[in-house]
């Protein structure tokens, strides 16, 4: 796990300014993703615990959106350069360097976890442990919204992401992994791709049992 995460960290450290310029306003033209995040925020507020982690927060634009939607949101990212950029871009919010398989958050502390295309670089064999860690930090009834690239096939597919290798997943297989981590998927949205890769965009909303 450490080797591929080190490669991912180095890759994202090297593209911070370009990545931030490309995606700072990316949700403006992605209504499906934007509205799923809005639904997620509304449901998290309804739990009475608005504390929410944006795991793999990158330059911090989605963390800022969660804050604007009324959540006590903070961002965590593997890349120190991304964290530095997010702190400069959004000085009123908290951003820390962290690995998704070892979140610096207490058990059951959060009402919500958002993983916006941030698990896509995780090799399939390591994803169950990653999802178990997201479940660990959620309070009972807490919510996870995970977005990823979906494939029509029956197996995850490795592809050449522009930053570093990534994986697309069959939505049903991903939902099964969530179930194995104690998270019940109760809403899902799959839609035509926003990029030239040809994969579907998938958003799964799950609740900790």
Report residue 90 as tokens.
């959004």
pLDDT at 72: 98
d(CA 154, CA 208) in angstroms, rounded, equals 25
SS3 of residue 92 by DSSP: coil
* Exposure string for 48-61, b = 16+ CB within 10 A, e = fewer: ebbbbbbbbbbbbb
Strand order across the 51-55 sheet: 94-97, 72-77, 51-55, 110-116, 138-150, 200-208, 183-191
What is the residue-level pLDDT of the chain in tens, covering all 209 positions?
556 777 787 677 677 787 778 877 779 889 999 999 999 999 999 999 999 999 999 999 999 999 999 999 999 999 999 999 999 999 999 999 999 999 999 999 999 999 999 999 999 999 999 999 999 999 999 999 999 999 988 999 999 887 788 999 999 999 999 999 999 999 999 998 766 667 899 999 999 99
pTM: predicted TM-score of the whole model, two decimal places: 0.93
Measured from the Cβ of residue 111, the count of other Cβ atoms closer than 10 Å reads: 22
Judge whether 37 and 145 are in contact, CB under 8 Å.
Answer: yes
According to CATH, the topology of domain 2-24+32-208 is Rossmann fold (3.40.50)
pLDDT at 166: 92
pLDDT at 2: 56
d(CA 154, CA 170) in angstroms, rounded, equals 6
pLDDT at 151: 92
pLDDT at 16: 76
pLDDT at 23: 76
Judge whether 51 and 22 are in contact, CB under 8 Å.
Answer: no
Domain boundaries, the chain: 2-24+32-208
pLDDT at 14: 76
């Amino acid at each position: 796990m450490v080797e591929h995460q080190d490669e991912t960290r180095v890759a994202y450290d090297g593209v911070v300014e370009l990545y931030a310029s490309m995606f700072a306003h990316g949700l403006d033209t992605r209504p499906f993703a934007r509205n799923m995040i809005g639904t997620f925020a509304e449901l998290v507020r309804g739990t009475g615990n608005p504390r929410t982690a944006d795991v793999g927060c990158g330059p911090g634009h989605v963390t800022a959106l969660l804050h604007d939607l009324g959540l006590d949101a903070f961002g965590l990212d593997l890349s120190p350069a991304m964290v530095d950029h997010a702190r400069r871009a959004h000085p009123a919010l908290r951003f820390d360097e962290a690995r998704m398989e070892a979140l610096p958050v207490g058990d059951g502390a959060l009402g919500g976890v958002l993983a916006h295309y941030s698990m896509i670089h995780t090799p399939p064999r390591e994803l169950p442990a990653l999802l178990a860690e997201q479940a660990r930090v959620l309070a009972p009834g807490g919510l996870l919204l995970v977005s990823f690239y979906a494939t029509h096939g029956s197996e995850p597919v490795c592809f050449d992401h522009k930053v570093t290798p990534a994986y697309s997943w069959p939505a049903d297989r991903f939902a099964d992994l969530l179930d194995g981590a104690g998270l019940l998927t109760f809403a899902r949205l799959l839609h035509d791709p926003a990029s030239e890769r040809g994969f579907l965009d998938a958003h799964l909303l799950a609740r900790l049992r």
